[in-house]
Amino acid sequence: MNHFSSPEHASPPSTATLSPASSVQRELQAGLLAAKAHTSPKYFYDNVGSVLFEAICELPEYYPTRTEADIFSRHLSEMAHVIGSGTTLIDMGAGNCAKAARLFPQLHPQQYVPIDISVDHLQESVKRLQQRFPHIEMTALGLDFSTPWALPDEVRPDKRLFFYPGSSIGNFDQDQALAFLRQMHAACQVTDTAGNGSVVDGGILIGVDLIKNHKLLDAAYDDALGVTAAFNLNLLRHVNRVLASDFKVSDWQHVAFFNPDQARIEMYLEARSEVTVRWPGAERHFAQGQRIHTENSYKYSIPSFLHLLEQAGFGRARYWCDPAGWFAVFYAQAF
């Protein structure tokens, strides 16, 4: 992510010539060696991280999942009427596919395309889902959509409905969110069968967390049981496997808080004491209290998100909220 708080005890990163590495390794190294160390939230989601996130969604403090589910429960029939049946349902960051599966009985998609960076976890989920809904074509994709992406030919081009629940759009800063939405809009453009160029055929169904009481937001990202802390700390184990680094989880602690000036939750891993972390070709010294930024989660108002959708090329928007106004689900058509 692009925004970071300055650590109280910042020290300059160690300099070293990096050995040849994969793009993922180069990305991690660049983030960890930056003046303000950071990693992408996508590194949360190895197999263990995916399971831990499912546990987070069951926590009493973590309102987004149950609030969004309640909105769908109350309003799915109306949503289905507005959207129509026979879509190509593209589930961005599908996880265990449970959220999309709840839509099937009323949306009746022609094809289901779950996308997730954690491929093994995704394949297992799709196998189970295919047994429940054998009449729906399913095409699972392992894809990192934090970078430019394109859908393969196996994905039906017509009536594409991008499904992005859980307010994951909040992990992007404003410019990144706009670029991501524009990529989805571009994927809704299909070739006219009459040979008259391309037409726009599709839309987006997206969950968005709204600005609310700061105490509710802080608790949602720092629960009493410490599941979110475990989720954040597990990132270090994932980094160790990818980078062959020697992070020790016990050297670090979870930090999360709402930044009202930026309208976002910020999540960090903070060094409990002075520590040096090494991996092939480089090392990084961290002072006590110095942080690695691991996630932002931006919160929106209804008008600000409608404006973002419009900027990305989506219009004729509808939205549904919970009674408390904590969360919203938007549907908008590409034009």
Same-domain pairing of 70 and 41? no
Kindly state whether residue 317 falls inside one of the protein's structural domains. yes
The answer as to whether 9 is a domain residue is: no
4 within some domain: no
Residue 19 pLDDT class (50, 70, 90 cuts): very low
Q: Does residue 207 sit in the same domain as residue 231?
A: no
Q: Are residues 113 and 262 in the same domain?
A: no
Quick one: pLDDT at residue 145? 78
Residue 26 lies in domain? 20-46+219-268
Q: Domain check: are 205 and 246 in the same one?
A: no
In a domain, 172, yes or no: yes
Q: Considering its fold, how many domains does the chain have in total?
A: 2
- CA separation for the pair 286, 288 (Å, rounded): 7
Q: What is the arithmetic mean of pLDDT over 2-12? A: 29
Could you give the C-alpha distances from 331 to 147, 180, 218, 271, 305, in angstroms and in order?
24, 16, 28, 42, 11
Q: Is the pLDDT of residue 20 over 70?
A: no
Q: Are residues 90 and 172 in the same domain?
A: yes
Residue 57 domain-assigned (yes or no): no
Q: Roughly how many angstroms between the first and final C-alpha of the chain, as a whole number?
A: 29
Torsion of CA 83, 161, 117, 330, to 10 degrees: -50
Surface-to-core class of residue 19, CB atoms within 10 Å of its CB (0-12 exposed, 13-18 middle, 19+ buried): exposed
Residue 104 lies in a domain: yes
Q: Identify whether the C-beta of residue 199 lies closer than 8 Å to the C-beta of residue 189.
A: yes
**Alpha-helical runs (H) found in 133-173:** none
CATH number, domain of 327, equals 3.40.50.150
CA dist 265 and 286 (Å) reads: 23
What does the block give as tokens for 20?
A: 């040849």
Mean pLDDT over 98-113 rounds to 96
**Residue 123 corresponds to which amino acid?**
Q
Looking at the chain, the whole-number percentage of residues with pLDDT higher than 90 is 81
pLDDT class for 14, splitting at 50, 70, 90?
A: very low
255 and 188 part of one domain: no
Query: What is the tens place of the pLDDT at every residue in 118-139?
Result: 788 788 899 999 999 999 999 9
Same domain, 255 and 174: no
**In whole angstroms, what is the distance from residue 15 CA to residue 22 CA?**
19
Q: Is residue 117 located within the same domain as residue 182? A: yes
Same-domain status, 96 and 201? yes
Q: Which of 18-22, 151-155, 304-308 has the lowest mean pLDDT?
A: 18-22
- Residue 189 is given by DSSP the state E
Residues 213-216: contacts with CB under 8 Å, at least 24 apart: 214/258, 214/260, 216/63, 216/326
Give CA–CA dist 61/222, Å, rounded: 8
Same domain, 69 and 181: yes
Categorize the per-residue pLDDT at 10 as very low, low, confident or very high, splitting at 50, 70 and 90: very low
- Residue 180 in domain: yes
Q: Which of 251, 243, 248, 249 is nearest to 281 (CA)?
A: 243
- Residue 280 maps to a domain: no
Same domain, 248 and 126: no
pLDDT of amino acid 304:
97
Do 69 and 176 belong together in one domain? Answer: yes
